[in-house]
Amino acid sequence: MPADAIIRPAASPSGAAAGHRLPSWFATAALLMPTYGWLLIAVFLPLCTMLVFSFMNATPMGRAPIVFTLKHYKAFITQPYLVGIAWDSLVIGFWTTFLCAVLGFFAALALARATIGRARETLLILILLPFWTNGLVRVFSWTMVLREGGFLDTLWHALLPEAGSIGFLYTRPAIVLGLVHGYLPYMILTCYIALVTIDDAIIEAAQSLGARWWTILTRVLVPLALPGLTTGAILTFVPVIGSFMEPRILGGRVGVTMGTVIEDQFTQAFNWPLGAALSFTMLAVILAIFATFSGVLRRNAGGVA
Amino acid sequence: MKALARFYLLAILVFLYLPIMVMMAMGFNDSALYELPFRFTTRWYVALSGNDQLISAGINSIVIALITAVLATLAGTMAAVALDRRAVRGRTLLQLLLLPPIAIPWLITGTAMLVFFFWTGIGRGMHALLIGHVALAIPYVVLVVGTGLRTIRSDLEEAAISLGSTPLHAFFAVTLPLLTPSILGAALFAFAVSLDQFVISYFLSTPGFATLPVQIYSAIRKGFTPEINAISTILLVGSMSVIVVFAIFARPGGARDKR
């Protein structure tokens, strides 16, 4: 890097001593300071504090002495109902990710292979646009569609006037539907980035060798799109596991997930140490997922290259 | 096959936009209980203009988004320039440190901020919200401006220096003008991130100071009226316009021409 060559002499001790100019590392540090200082105060120190809190006996209020304990990390053993909630959250996360992957992969495939130029650009922006609008408002929109006597019901009754209601607001499928709606654009984008680089010649070669569309799909397209699918799956699964507003609004009484349990500890039950311990357990699960799949991703990259 | 693919894309678009359209339409429907048939009215928008709580929350949201955009763009651009153009030790680690604010669920980041701000006496309210929003927006700014920097050749700056310009002057006279579209794009991005942020705001709001999404959430929890549809429609249209402007500004093709 030629840029470094210009900077480096000044960084040497002689350069710093040579004149009134500040040493180069000082300027670099000053440029980096605002960003990393801010992240330290707003993200990293809070996470460390919460880790400390997770070992406390109770929320430190007033003059009560602080006692350190591991009991909140044993909550899954002492409060067995949490295991059921954790399982439900994982199931919701799994279904959301699975549906996003299937719907998103084919949407990305259609986008990459059946559209060109302007139309493709416009479609991509249209697909990504909802992602940058308020998630809360989009979840709220679904209540308009799914409630009893809502849009879906009205449509259904226009076809079959005598039929009962098919509105399924306040059920688990409603939560999954809302979450899929929220994260599908992400999956389409990551799959599209992987698929758009595939050379037409590869598919033509497969066709000319007699491969049917099913073979091309499973032996060529899916393996080549796997990094995009994996990235999309992680980007979907992680926030879904931590969601609490979607289950509350779309799930009503059945919408109890790890996210809502953690939120309760901070806003209702005022048991911050338990909330912190559950958060860090969740974070550990997420990191384990990252670690597992980063290995898979690297192997894929190696295999393709 | 192509017709099928296009039909499928259309179906995906319907899935993505249908609930939003229904929600928007219901904001113009006369029935307070969202009953059909549809009868057009603007009375919910009229009612909204008298709802001081939602209006002040909306103003709070815009003020915070503006300040966040300025601060995050300033800090993030400086960091992006340092990471891309200067000799930095531990560059990979520094780049990795930008990920947690994006990758850790907001629920965890938000509650951690709540605990830390309470413990240090920073407390909740507008300043706390600003600290949180800027931290969330900075990584996006560094990524957007960093991408822009990589499309600008660094030897232009070196040429200026070899012709007698100081490094600082060379940056402001050569690189910064070329970088302006990326910086504006990043600022819009930061604005949108802040405007749509709900989870962090939810934990750091006080009863006296809330942003629009937080106010909408508590209204939904209490039982909703078409007024919420009206304010939601305004919020959606607002953030969609910001992003469309961003898409026009930060077009990859546009940046490539300026080499």
The residue segments making up the domain with residue A193 are 82-304
> At B123, which amino acid appears?
G
Same domain, B11 and B114: no
Domain-located, residue B46:
no
Instruction: Calculate the average pLDDT of chain B.
Output: 87
What three-state secondary structure class fits B40? strand
- Our CA-based measurement puts residue A154 at a distance from the nearest CA of chain B, in whole angstroms, of 8
Indicate whether B147 and B240 sit together in one domain. yes
Contacts B20 to A, Cβ<8 Å: 130, 133, 138, 141
Q: Are B229 and B165 in contact (CB under 8 A)?
A: no
* Over residues B54-77, mean pLDDT: 94
Residue A14 lies in a domain: no
Number of structural domains found in chain B: 2
Q: Is residue B205 part of a domain?
A: yes
Is the residue at B68 inside a domain?
A: yes
- Determine contact: A293 vs chain B, CB below 8 A: no
> Distance, in angstroms, between A183 CA and closest chain B CA?
10
pLDDT value for A11: 40
Instruction: Identify the CA nearest to A192 among candidates A218, A235, A216, A227.
Output: A227
Q: Do B107 and A44 touch (CB under 8 A)?
A: no
Q: Which residue has the higher pLDDT, A240 or B249?
A: A240
The proportion of chain B whose per-residue pLDDT surpasses 70, expressed as a percent, equals: 96
Tally Cβ neighbours within 10 Å of residue A106. Answer: 17
Q: Residue B189's CB: how many other CB atoms inside 10 A?
A: 26
B11 at interface of A, judged by CB pairs closer than 8 A: no
Q: Indicate if B62 and B164 belong to the same structural domain.
A: yes
Q: Is A28 on the interface with B (CB under 8 A)?
A: yes
Supply the pLDDT for residue A9.
43
Q: Name which residue leads in pLDDT, B196 or B128.
A: B128
CATH number, residue B171? 1.10.3720.10
- Domain containing B125 equals 52-256
Would residue A61 count as lying in a domain?
no
Q: Are B31 and B57 in a shared domain? A: no
CB-based contacts of A109: which residues, under 8 Å, 6+ apart?
A191, A195, A221, A225, B5
Calculate Rg over the CA atoms of chain A. Answer: 26
Q: Is B176 a domain residue?
A: yes
CB A108 within 8 A of CB A260: no
Same domain for B91 and B195, yes or no, is yes
Residue A174 at interface with chain B, using a CB cutoff of 8 Å: no
Residue B65 lies in a domain: yes
Would residue A24 count as lying in a domain?
no
Asked whether residue A69 is assigned to any structural domain, the reply reads no
Tell me the mean pLDDT in the region B160-172. 85
Q: With an 8 Å Cβ cutoff, is A26 touching chain B?
A: no
Can you give the pLDDT at residue A68? Answer: 85
Write out chain A's pLDDT in tens, 305 residues.
444 444 444 444 443 344 456 778 888 889 999 999 999 999 999 999 999 999 988 877 666 677 788 888 888 888 888 999 999 999 999 999 999 999 999 999 999 888 888 888 889 888 988 877 788 889 999 988 998 888 888 888 888 887 777 888 899 999 999 999 999 998 999 999 888 888 888 888 888 888 888 888 888 888 888 888 988 998 899 889 989 999 999 998 888 999 999 999 998 888 999 999 999 999 998 888 878 877 766 665 544 43
Residue A173 lies in a domain: yes
Q: What is the DSSP string of B188-210?
A: HHHHHHHHH--HHHHHH-BTTB-
